[in-house]
Amino acid sequence: MKILYICHRFPYPPKRGGKIRPFNMIKYLSEQGHQVWVASLARSQQEFDECAGITAYCHRYTIGLVNDAIQWARMIMYLLTPTPSSLAFFYSKSLKKQIDDWIKEENFDFIFVHCSSVAQYVDHVEHIPKILDYGDMDSQKWLTYRSFKPFPFSWGYWLEGIKMQFSEKNLARKFDLATCTTKAELATLDSYGTTIKTDWFPNGVDTDFFQPDNTAYEPHSISFIGRMDYFPNQQCMLEFCHETWPLIQEKIPDAKLYIVGADPSKQIRALENINGVIVTGSVKDVRPFILKTAAMVAPLKIARGTQNKILEAMAMGVPVVSSSLAAGGIDAIPGEHFLTADSPSEYASKLINLMESEPFRTKYAVAGRERMLSHHAWHKSMEKMESLIQDCVKKDN
């Protein structure tokens, strides 16, 4: 098949969550013999320059290079209009023209859209079968943000969430199938009552790249993975360091916490003033930092979809203690494959056990890795995705 694939963040290199899922879809579809045409955005010249590597995984690609400052200005301009600011942010006139030209010139068999913010480029197309992969329901993220922001920002997030929710409902009706990353996200989509067919397929993890290396680890250490310019990561680490970390250090005075992620804010950098906290900033490879720790913690209070950081740590055989909210995106059983906590005392107790008891740690290290192999392997997820595409095409014919 000749497939037009549209996504909101250019899927190469697949270094962050918004790029990993679309990259693996494109790679898989190309490997199955499909001709994949990729259309996406780049928000800086540096990002634009990195995009060429996608050539090995698709037939052709096009990029809408936008200026981040201008896109933010567009978001603000649309704040008091019915159109979600998110759609304004991810709009590029040049990308729209290229997509329209391709649709006129090429005989596409199928259109796949990842993320509702870019569904606007093809929502009007009716003669080609289409899937909209929401991934996460973005409206719910904005509505959650309002609880963590002061007025008037809280009002702005609430307004964007309401507008986005309305947009998500309307967009679903313009596609043949709508999909999500997790059962929880699917439940949200189904609650909209659109009557459109829906389904889900999970994020995977590269279990060959993320695997145990059998080297010694530091027993009295834990880690956190994530971009540190991302508010949910910042919020959870600031709270964890101030409320939970002191409880851990009471029991284990020489404990270390590695916060591993690019672009830490000033507030995150300041956490290094706390005894035992190390903020690495950007690193070439997160694996050595995670593998040397007794556990990875994911105390997120704002979490939609699947947290790739959890999948990656479990695949490396590093036990995870996650918030119950973040655990909802993982196809694994809390208490059997990983641990959950929702208060400083719960986090401290479970992390201390993992740091002090090697048998306890080994139990979750092995169980977590095995679960990733059986339930979060990319090829299984992609096989389900392709079957959904085939069903869509057959139905249209």
Residue closest to 375 by CA, chosen among 323, 321, 336: 336
Cα(358)–Cα(347) distance, integer angstroms: 18
Contacts of 203 (CB under 8 A, 6+ apart): 20, 21, 181, 305, 306, 308, 311, 329, 376, 381
- Whether the Cβ atoms of residue 361 and residue 97 lie closer than 8 Å to each other: no
pLDDT at 344: 97
- Whether the Cβ atoms of residue 255 and residue 355 lie closer than 8 Å to each other: yes
Cα(82)–Cα(290) distance, integer angstroms: 44
pLDDT for 18 beyond 90: no
Query: Tell me, what DSSP letter sits at residue 338?
Result: B
Q: What would the pLDDT profile of 51-101 be if each residue is shown by its tens digit?
A: 999 999 999 999 999 998 999 999 999 988 999 999 999 999 999 999 999
pLDDT at 160: 94
| Lowest-pLDDT choice from 16-30, 88-102, 145-159, 271-285 | 145-159
Write the class of the CATH domain 2-203+378-396.
alpha beta
Question: Residue 219 corresponds to which tokens in the numbers above?
Answer: 């027993």
Q: What would the pLDDT profile of 196-234 be if each residue is shown by its tens digit?
A: 999 999 999 999 999 999 889 999 999 999 999 999 999
Q: What would the pLDDT profile of 321-373 be if each residue is shown by its tens digit?
A: 999 999 988 999 999 999 999 999 999 999 999 999 999 999 999 999 999 99
pLDDT at 225: 92
Kind and range of the H or E run holding 277: strand 277-281
Q: Please check whether the two domains, 2-203+378-396 and 218-375, share a CATH topology.
A: yes
Counting Cα atoms < 13 Å in the Cβ hemisphere of 275 gives: 9
From residue 325, alpha-carbon distances to 206, 221, 317 in Å are 23, 24, 22
Write the class of the CATH domain 218-375.
alpha beta
- Whether the Cβ atoms of residue 347 and residue 297 lie closer than 8 Å to each other: yes
Cα(141)–Cα(168) distance, integer angstroms: 13
**Whole-number average pLDDT of the chain:** 94
Q: How many CB atoms lie within 10 A of CB 173?
A: 12
Question: 3-class SS at 16?
Answer: coil
pLDDT at 397: 65
- Whether the Cβ atoms of residue 11 and residue 39 lie closer than 8 Å to each other: no
Amino acid at 334: P
| Domain limits, the chain | 2-203+378-396, 218-375
Kindly give the residue spans of alpha helices, DSSP state H, lying in the chain: 17-31, 45-50, 68-77, 85-89, 93-105, 138-145, 153-172, 183-190, 231-239, 245-251, 266-269, 287-291, 308-315, 324-327, 344-356, 358-375, 378-396
Percent of all residues in the chain with a pLDDT value above 70, rounded to a whole number? 99
Q: Can you give the C-alpha Rg of the chain in angstroms?
A: 21
Q: What would the pLDDT profile of 256-308 be if each residue is shown by its tens digit?
A: 999 999 999 999 999 999 999 999 999 999 999 999 999 999 999 988 878 89
pLDDT at 351: 98
Percent of all residues in the chain with a pLDDT value above 90, rounded to a whole number? 85
